[in-house]
Amino acid sequence: MFFVVLLMSRPASAPDAADVPVLPEGLRVVRESETCGSGGCAQELTIEGPPGASLEQIREMLDLTEETCRKNGLLDFKERYTGVTNVGGEMCLYVSVSDFLK
């Protein structure tokens, strides 16, 4: 029981590459960053599509029209969020892990 409590109480770390969805053909990562703050950590990827693709077309290619949320792991009950957002005219794919248990 102590192991589970310890695992649940440890701070979140940035999601690793295995947590990031595989990009469909035609999309590529042009910039990556990891951030951590008081609420958790995130991995952010700026995505570029084929020449002439709009941000909406890139979003459709990623098939992430809504943010998804699930538990981070079998014994890690923190929540992992995956989604896309427009940041300064660029499509950003993010995966974040919350420090808070829900």
The 10s digit of each residue's pLDDT in 30-74 is 999 888 887 788 889 999 999 999 999 998 998 887 887 766 666
Alpha-carbon distance of 32 to 30, in angstroms, equals: 7
Which pLDDT belongs to residue 72? 63
Which pLDDT belongs to residue 5? 43
Question: Which domain range does residue 42 map to?
Answer: 2-101
Which pLDDT belongs to residue 96? 86
pTM: 0.74
Per the structure, the count of domains in the chain is: 1
- 84 has which bridge partners? 93
21 or 3, which is more confident: 21
3-state DSSP call for residue 18? Answer: helix
C-alpha dihedral over 22, 24, 26, 29, to 10 degrees? -20
Mean pLDDT, range 18-24, rounded to an integer = 84
